[in-house]
Amino acid sequence: MDEKPYHFIKEVIKKKPLNKRALLLKIAAIAAAAVAAGIIAAFVFVKMVPVAEELVGTESPPPVSIPSDDTPESETTPTPEPTQEVQQTETPTPEPTQEAESEGTISLEDYREVYQEMLAVAETPKRALVTVIGITSQMDYFNQNYENQQQISGLIVADNGQDLFVLTEYRVVENVERIQVTFFDGTMVDAIYQRHDGNTGLTILRVGREDVDETTLENIEVAPLGNSYSVSQGEPVLALGSPIGYSDSVAYGVVTSVTNKISTLDTEYNLLTTDILGSSDGSGILVNLDGEIVGIIAQSYSTSENKNIVTGLAISQIKELIERLSNDEAQAYIGIRGQDVTAEISERTGIPKGVLVTSVQADSPAMLSGIKEYDVIVRVGDTEVSTIREYFNSLKELTPGQTVTVAAMRMGAEGYVEVTFDVTVGEI
């Protein structure tokens, strides 16, 4: 039989044409429903949070507040010279009697009592001291995991009812996997990094009060921060913490200088230098005879020739820094190091009064805006500045990301002329 070809019906199934209008209406309906749900959720959240807080009995803790110290008038007001009407009279000095000489003799027992009294003064500050431990995991040559630990002294500087805030140095807790704090009684708890300051190398850690034993909470102290402006040359001080390189140590000495300063980005700080021999890696606090903390040991600011001489940052000038770090607040920065041009210097050198830029930080807002070394900053925004302290105070009114006009005097072919820079403030 002959083969006959068979033909089958071929059908092509086509998709239904897309109705764009219907699709847009559906998308709009979904978006409207999402917006409505978000508004309802936000409204319910705002209304219910106070109710929940009232039922549970919790509320946001108050921010940390550390009172600042006023600069003594003696530093700014010159002492008047005596007038000619004042007559000096010589008062005869009585010759010491044998009895007085015997009374002025200090015995070994008197000497012992003096040091015991000084040590007793340090009892309260010692209860505010902690040991901070930074822990990282590493592998040895045999692929065995072990923990590398570094430790340093810390100081309890604030308590807001929910957390304890510990001041320490950032170098020990930088890039670590775990941070532990050991209190004066040996109790150990985990701590959380809060914020650090790149200028001073200081950082704040948080420790939840609920993680600390009740007995420890009852016995620890918040550091009694004193007034370093009242510290004078020759005043006795105690160095507590790890000034010699190991924990729970104490050293005695006197303040040898209160006028040394360190220039950091956008500001400067006073240093308290002592005659106390310590370690180049030492840490801790300086305490006066009233039991008040007047300095935070910072050996990184010791001179290269005196690395083993205990040196501290004056506490009065870093109180505001401690408060800002504790509240996790950003600090505006422009990125210059400066020096005051006083009226006397200006008259002698011809440089205008203001803040002489001694260096500009690489890639800082100052460099990007065109500020150069040897410019003399005279105004930030609408604020006239004549000292590095006034310049720094003007930055406190700014927020990172804000653009501000900075005016400076720049040396040109015909002398100093004013130039302005639009600076986008950064965050340190």
How is 73-117 classified by DSSP, letter by letter? GGGTSPPPPPPTT----PPPPPPPPHHHHHHTPPPHHHHHHHHHH
Mean pLDDT of 2-23: 60
pLDDT band of residue 207 (cuts 50, 70, 90) is very high
pLDDT band of residue 114 (cuts 50, 70, 90) is confident
d(CA 420, CA 403): 13
CB neighbour class for 281 (10 Å; exposed up to 12, middle 13-18, buried from 19)? middle
Spatial neighbors of 181 by CB under 8 A, at least 6 apart, are 130, 131, 132, 133, 154, 166, 188, 189, 190, 191, 205, 207
Res. 394: pLDDT tops 90? yes
Q: Which of 59-73, 326-340, 391-405 has the lowest mean pLDDT?
A: 59-73
Mean pLDDT of 375-395: 95
Q: What percent of the chain has pLDDT above 90?
A: 60
pLDDT at position 77:
42
d(CA 142, CA 121): 50
pLDDT band of residue 100 (cuts 50, 70, 90) is very low
pLDDT at position 38:
72
Alpha carbon separation from 272 to 85, 226, 256 (Å, rounded): 39, 14, 8
Most confident of 3-7, 35-39, 45-49: 35-39
Looking at per-residue confidence, does 72 or 218 come out higher?
218
Res. 211: pLDDT tops 60? yes
DSSP calls for 204-236: EEEEEGGGS-HHHHHH-----B--GGG--TT-E
d(CA 234, CA 282): 22
pLDDT band of residue 387 (cuts 50, 70, 90) is very high
Q: Are 238 and 122 in contact (CB under 8 A)?
A: yes
Residue 137: strand, helix, or coil: strand
Mean pLDDT of 174-186: 94
pLDDT band of residue 158 (cuts 50, 70, 90) is very high
DSSP type of residue 18: P
- The values of phi and psi at residue 27, to 5°, are -65, -40
In whole numbers, what is the pLDDT of the chain averaged over residues?
Answer: 84
DSSP calls for 312-359: EEEHHHHHHHHHHHHTT---EE--EEEEEE-HHHHHHH-PPSEEEEEE
CA-based nearest residue to 210, from 195, 193, 189: 189
d(CA 365, CA 426): 6
